[in-house]
């Protein structure tokens, strides 16, 4: 292998091995896509997704990724990993809270690892505002993959597999 080949290998890493497992972004109980109390998610308009009814006010990265978006109201984070475009959306209509009760633990452009804390949320404030607190994990470019399969159910913790993505 010549010098150029070694250099080239460093700038063009091997593509991620599929299937890729996406883990729970929160500790709680799995909410199936069709039961998510938001039509954009329950009907799959934003891609295949799954939710977690959280027990704690912590949201974690489901995979090694790069943070691509953090909305001003801090209720949603965009991630990119292995060609997947992921959206973690906290609650339903929580954009109306204008960030009250949410704290970002990441920033756009940051590399995060599976299990890294991305956001915290005050579950009591979300409930007091009358919003469901479901933490939704969506693969927004679902059509780019052969399958995005929900595999999680029941009680889950960060690190437990929720979705499997196949190329």
Q: In DSSP terms, which residues pair with 155 in a beta bridge?
A: 29
**For residues 81, 106, 138 and 27, what is the CA-based torsion angle, rounded to 10 degrees?**
110
Q: In what order do the strands lie in the sheet with 20-23?
A: 20-23, 161-166, 147-150
CB 114 within 8 A of CB 61: yes
Tens of pLDDT, residue by residue over 140-161, are 999 999 999 999 999 999 999 9
23 within some domain:
yes
Instruction: Say which of 75, 89, 113, 131 is annotated catalytic.
Output: 89
pLDDT in the model for residue 13: 44
pLDDT in the model for residue 6: 41
For the chain, the 3-state helix, strand and coil shares in percent, each to the nearest 5, are 15, 40, 45
The count of domains in the chain is 1
Residue 114, domain extent: 18-166
In this predicted structure, the answer to whether residue 52 has a pLDDT above a threshold of 50 is: yes
Can you give 89-113 as a three-state secondary structure string?
EECCCHHHHCCCCEEECCCCCCEEC
pLDDT in the model for residue 72: 94
12 within some domain:
no
- Let me know if 130 is exposed, middle or buried by CB neighbors in 10 A (0-12, 13-18, 19+): exposed
CA distance 158 to 161: 8
3 within some domain:
no
Mark whether 89 is an active-site residue. yes
Confidence of residue 7 (pLDDT cuts 50, 70, 90): very low
**Which among 70, 69, 63 has a CA at the least distance from the CA of 165?**
63
pLDDT in the model for residue 20: 97
Cα radius of gyration rounded to whole Å, the chain: 17
11 within some domain:
no
37 within some domain:
yes
CATH number at residue 86: 2.70.70.10
Confidence of residue 17 (pLDDT cuts 50, 70, 90): confident
93 within some domain:
yes
157 within some domain:
yes
Q: Residue range 101-116: average pLDDT?
A: 97
117 within some domain:
yes
> Nearest-5° angle of CA 45, CA 153, CA 162?
60
């Amino acid at each position: 292998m010549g010098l150029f080949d070694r250099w080239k290998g460093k700038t063009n890493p091997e593509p991620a091995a599929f299937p890729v497992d996406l883990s729970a972004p929160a500790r709680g109980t799995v909410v199936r896509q069709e039961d998510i109390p938001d039509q954009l998610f329950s009907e799959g308009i934003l891609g295949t997704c799954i939710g977690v009814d959280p027990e704690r006010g912590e949201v974690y990265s489901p995979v090694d990724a790069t943070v691509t978006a953090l909305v001003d109201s801090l209720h949603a984070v965009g991630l990119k990993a292995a060609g997947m475009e992921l959206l973690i959306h906290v609650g339903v209509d929580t954009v109306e809270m204008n960030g009250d009760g949410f704290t970002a633990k990441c920033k756009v452009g940051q590399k995060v690892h599976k299990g890294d804390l991305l956001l915290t949320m005050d579950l009591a404030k979300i409930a007091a505002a009358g919003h469901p607190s479901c933490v939704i994990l969506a693969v927004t470019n679902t059509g780019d993959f052969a399958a995005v399969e929900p595999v999680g159910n029941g009680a889950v913790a960060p690190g437990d597999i929720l979705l499997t993505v196949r190329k």
